[in-house]
Amino acid sequence: MTSDGEHDRAVDAPVLRFSDVSLRYGRQAETLREVSFDLEPGSFHFLTGPSGAGKSSLLKLVYRAQLPSRGRVTLFGQDLAALPRRELARVRRRIGVVFQDFRLLEHLNAFDNAALPLRIAGRRPKDYKTDVADLLAWVGLGSKLHAMPVTLSGGEKQRLAIARAVITKPDLLLADEPTGNVDADMAQRILRLFTELNRRGATVLIATHDQDLVARAAMPQLRLRDGQLDGVAVLAPGA
Amino acid sequence: MSVEAAEAFLKAWRPGPLMPRADARDGGLVFVIAVLCFFACLTALAALAGDRAAGGWTAQLRGSATVLVRPRGGESGDAAAARAAETLAGVKGVSEAAALEKDKALALLQPWLGPEALKEAQAGDLPIPRLVTLELDKDAPATAADLDRALKTQGIDAAVDDHSLWIKDIVRAGLWARAAALGLFALTALTAAAVIAFAARAALAARREIVEVLHVAGAQDRFIAGLLMRRFAGMAFVAGLIAAALAAGIGAAARLAGGGQGLTPVLPVAWIDLAALAPCPLLAALLAAFCARGAALRLLKEKA
């Protein structure tokens, strides 16, 4: 039985918590140093900072492509380092990740790439066919359903990678430079998509150095500098 | 793409393979597995034929006996052999007893004596042992002791050879042949398992980016191992099919070339033996599935 107090704590618990997290690759200097922050459910944050500040490394810690050298990363209330592999897969199904280098499966067409998380989740093709086609149409790839990634432009690949990340309507969306290869108009549409997902309850964390995007969204930023969190800033719209 | 084209695409769409289907290394792996399966099939055929040969020889030897008669006193060899044959024909468990004619007995001695000594023997200077050949009842053959007792009762000096020494040797040789075939089969299977496990690890390592994407999208290790398992099982099934077909061709050729007794009377192949090759593709696929899955799961755990 769960008391009301416990229930409240579960509801209020941050989606993501970094507690004094440091990350070191091999014998190199620490890429991240004693980073601590919480992302509350339904929040929208940008992760900003210059190249090499540790933005991508921080995201890798969230989807556990890396384990911290020190400190603790807690996702959906669970310590990622202590999570059994079977449970880790379940947790990952609640996350959508847009990789900076897209990581599309080159042997699958655009439709199959976008549908990948649904297949892994065990959904039946006839149940998701229309959803995938609609989403691809929405990101401007409605005419490229059968296209292989090698035939797509950088911007098209990026939109496909975004479609794959959001197709399951994840609880947490992580995006690494999601507007790096698209024009301003498409960047605006992608931001609208992320905002819409956020409005529906998803927590969003976007790593970017696109200050225009940050300014347009007017959402809080986690600023990284030399592997350390420099603070949280909120920009007013149009600032 | 027009709306109609998109609808047509969705209608015809089937999920693509999560692991790339073709690989430059696939042909080599199918070849290696096919060669190993082919050896395993030939081993199985040889074991079956050897088993049948040993069984045939044993049955032949069990169904007959030879009695060496030594004439006593003034009795001639022919008379002693005839008396022994008559005595033995009346023993229970003997179907037929026949004294071997002197010329046939001499012919048996020729390899040991040579033609000159044989001429002297024919002239009557050398005492020639005489033989009685017996065909024994298949269901209840007379024992050597029964035959010996009957001969002694009639005062005939003779030695009974019921071929038991040879039968023991053949049975022992048959057991060794079966054990050797089983050993070879196991060795071939182990080699195939090692090759498949190595190839599965190499395949997974070569596709680590795909594996990472699948993992981040929430795939369990066993889901990824399953993809590899199905792929390798399919390849091994094809390899097993090719190997079984080739081995069956060789078995059929051996059967046709040797007529009723197979290629040689030593290893008689029967048509029914070819049926033993039928499970080869399935067994190869099962072995490949098991090894590929195991190797993949171990590698994924190591890299975790």
**What is the domain extent for residue A135?**
106-169
Write the residue in B212, B219, B304 that is nearest to A120 by C-beta.
Answer: B219
Write the residue in A89, A107, A129 that is nearest to B219 by C-beta.
Answer: A89
Which of B2, B3, B4, B13 has the most A C-beta neighbours within 10 Å, making it the best mutation to test the interface with A? Answer: B13
What residues contact A139, with CB distance under 8 A and at least 6 apart? A159, A160, A162, A163, A189, A190, A193
Is A139 part of a structural domain of the chain? yes
Q: Which contiguous run of DSSP H or E holds residue A200?
A: none
Q: What is the mean pLDDT of each run of 10 residues along chain B (304 residues)?
A: 79 88 79 93 88 80 85 80 89 89 77 75 69 87 88 88 81 85 89 90 88 94 93 94 95 77 64 91 95 93 75
pLDDT, one tens digit per residue, over A20-73 is 999 999 888 899 999 999 999 999 999 999 888 899 999 999 999 999 999 999
Of B139, B141, B162, B160, which is closest to residue B150 (Cα–Cα)? Answer: B160
pLDDT, one tens digit per residue, over A63-75 is 999 999 999 999 9
Contact B10 A129 (CB under 8 A): yes
- Span of A10-14, A136-140, A218-222 with lowest mean pLDDT: A10-14
Cα–Cα distance for residue pair B78/B214, rounded to 1 Å: 92
Where residue A11 falls among pLDDT bands split at 50, 70, 90? low
Give me the pLDDT at residue A7, please. 43
Q: Is-contact B279 B290, C-beta < 8 A?
A: no
Residues of A in contact with B213 (CB under 8 A): 103, 105, 116
User: Is residue A121 over pLDDT 50?
Assistant: yes
Contact A120 B9 (CB under 8 A): no
Contact B220 A89 (CB under 8 A): yes
Nearest CA in chain B to A125: B15
Q: Is-contact B203 B23, C-beta < 8 A?
A: yes
Give me the pLDDT at residue B247, please. 94
Q: Between A162 and B261, name the one with better pLDDT.
A: A162
Residues of A in contact with B216 (CB under 8 A): 63, 65, 92, 95, 97
Give me the pLDDT at residue B266, please. 61
The model's pTM is 0.74
Note whether A117 contacts B: Cβ–Cβ < 8 A.
yes
Is A124 part of a structural domain of the chain? yes
Is A87 part of a structural domain of the chain? no
Give me the pLDDT at residue B261, please. 53
Write the residue in B20, B223, B304 that is nearest to A107 by C-beta.
Answer: B20
Note whether A123 contacts B: Cβ–Cβ < 8 A.
no
Note whether A67 contacts B: Cβ–Cβ < 8 A.
no
Render B134-197 in DSSP notation, one character per residue.
EEE-SSSPPPHHHHHHHHHHTT--EEEE-SHHHHHHHHHHHHHHHHHHHHHHHHHHHHHHHHHH
Q: Which contiguous run of DSSP H or E holds residue A173?
A: strand A172-176
Is A56 part of a structural domain of the chain? no
Note whether A135 contacts B: Cβ–Cβ < 8 A.
no
Q: Is-contact A208 A47, C-beta < 8 A?
A: yes
Q: Could you give the ipTM of this predicted complex? A: 0.86
Beta strands A70-75 and A44-48 are unpaired
Q: Between B167 and A157, name the one with better pLDDT.
A: A157
Write the residue in B9, B215, B217 that is nearest to A146 by C-beta.
Answer: B9
Give me the pLDDT at residue A23, please. 95
Nearest CA in chain B to A142: B1
Is A7 part of a structural domain of the chain? no
Is A71 part of a structural domain of the chain? no
Give me the pLDDT at residue B1, please. 64
Where residue A4 falls among pLDDT bands split at 50, 70, 90? very low
Count of structural domains, chain A: 1
Let me know the angle formed at the C-alpha of A66 by A191 and A54, rounded to the nearest 5 degrees. Answer: 55
Minimum distance, in Å, between the CA of residue B13 and any CA atom of chain A: 9
Write the residue in A120, A144, A146 that is nearest to B218 by C-beta.
Answer: A120
Where residue A239 falls among pLDDT bands split at 50, 70, 90? very low
Note whether A86 contacts B: Cβ–Cβ < 8 A.
yes
Is A123 part of a structural domain of the chain? yes
Q: Is-contact B80 B154, C-beta < 8 A?
A: no
**Percent of chain A topping pLDDT 90:** 64
Is A114 part of a structural domain of the chain? yes
Contact A93 B214 (CB under 8 A): no
Contact B18 A116 (CB under 8 A): yes
Phi/psi at B181 (5° precision): -65, -45
Q: Is-contact B218 A117, C-beta < 8 A?
A: yes
Contact A103 B218 (CB under 8 A): no
Contact B223 A120 (CB under 8 A): yes
Q: Is-contact B232 B292, C-beta < 8 A?
A: yes
User: Chain B residues with CB-CB distance to A under 8 A?
Assistant: 1, 6, 9-10, 13-18, 20-21, 209-210, 212-221, 223, 301, 304
Mean pLDDT, range A185-210, rounded to an integer:
89
Beta strands A172-176 and A203-207 are parallel
Where residue A237 falls among pLDDT bands split at 50, 70, 90? very low
Q: Is-contact A19 A36, C-beta < 8 A?
A: yes
Give me the pLDDT at residue B124, please. 64
Cα–Cα distance for residue pair B114/A15, rounded to 1 Å: 103
